[in-house]
Amino acid sequence: MLEVKDLHVSYGPVHAVHGVSFAAREGEVTVVLGANGAGKSTSMRAVAGFHKPDSGTIELDGRSTFGLPAHKVVRRGMALVPEGRKIFAPLTVEENLRVGGYTASRSKADKTMQDVYATFPILHDRQHSQAGLLSGGEQQMLAFGRALMSQPRLMLMDEPSMGLAPTMIDTVMSSVKAMAERGIGVVMVEQNADAGLELADTVVVVTRGETVWTGTAAQAREDKTIVHAMLGEAALDGA
């Protein structure tokens, strides 16, 4: 479904990503782990079309999306749930969902919205509420729903559990699992390694801007050097 190979991304003179590679398949969860500043979020933004990469390959279903702007990437079937959710706080829940479905016809968007409400009943209950008044967990559900409005085959998620209470993290992760079970491919950047490993089919570890390891969740748990990489550079240096 998605193949990213040898991705390089810069911010001006700063070469932030210099060799990230990973893949995602339909109905499976690929979890990207690594320390803060490792290049995970930058990679997600580049794949989603929010930042133009320097070099590498990005292919969705065998077609290159390299360098395409975000709105064209969405039309190809890939959506990003950004770090911090980035909902439109002054708008209502329904208005936020409408924004997510801008690529679809009104009738198709209406049908998808009903599917989103069925998946996240709390959004139906809050549909006329201002999005900024929702709890953190409810806002994350809204961010998921907004992405689903574009009917993606692949969803990129950047730190979906960030800032949430433990009980809400369980709810968010259950939602991610449900999306994969519906056949949607998921690539999830996650600082909560334990939660990510519970869901993962494939684990990718990124350190200092490049992929250093790829394997299964079971292999990641068993390999102490992988745990060190997930904990950060200090753990690596002290190993």
Residue 239: per-residue pLDDT: 35
Residue 238 pLDDT level (bands cut at 50, 70, 90): very low
Please say if the pLDDT value at position 99 is more than 60. yes
Residue 6 located in a structural domain? no
Residue 237 — φ and ψ, nearest 5°?
A: -65, -30
Residue 228: per-residue pLDDT: 63
Residue 59 located in a structural domain? no
Q: Which of 64-73, 97-106, 177-186, 208-217 has the lowest mean pLDDT?
A: 97-106
How far is 222 from 32, CA to CA, in rounded Å? Answer: 17
Residue 202 located in a structural domain? yes
Do residues 38 and 208 make contact, with C-beta atoms less than 8 angstroms apart? yes
Residue 191 pLDDT level (bands cut at 50, 70, 90): confident
Amino acid at 166: P
pLDDT digits (tens, 9 = 90+) for 216-233: 988 988 876 666 656 554
Residue 227: per-residue pLDDT: 60
Do residues 124 and 95 make contact, with C-beta atoms less than 8 angstroms apart? no
The CA-atom distances, in angstroms, between 129 and each of 46, 95, 96, 106, 139 are 33, 10, 11, 21, 12
Please say if the pLDDT value at position 165 is more than 60. yes
The CA-atom distances, in angstroms, between 122 and each of 18, 110, 117, 125 are 41, 17, 8, 5
How far is 117 from 128, CA to CA, in rounded Å? Answer: 13
Residue 234: per-residue pLDDT: 40
Residue 18 located in a structural domain? no
The CA-atom distances, in angstroms, between 194 and each of 12, 100, 143 are 34, 30, 22
How far is 25 from 35, CA to CA, in rounded Å? Answer: 24
Residue 20 located in a structural domain? no
Residue 110 neighbours by CB under 8 Å, 6+ apart = none
Residue 89 located in a structural domain? yes
Do residues 131 and 164 make contact, with C-beta atoms less than 8 angstroms apart? no
Residue 2: per-residue pLDDT: 98
Structure tokens at 21: 């590679």
pLDDT digits (tens, 9 = 90+) for 103-140: 888 889 999 999 999 999 999 999 999 999 999 999 99
Structure tokens at 29: 């969860």
Residue 13 located in a structural domain? no
Report the share of the chain in percent with pLDDT over 90: 79
Residue 77 belongs to domain spanning? 26-50+67-238
Residue 231: per-residue pLDDT: 54
Residue 168 located in a structural domain? yes
Number of domains comprising the chain:
1
Query: What CATH number corresponds to the domain at position 149?
Result: 3.40.50.300
Collapsing DSSP to helix, strand or coil, 149 comes out as coil
Amino acid at 5: K
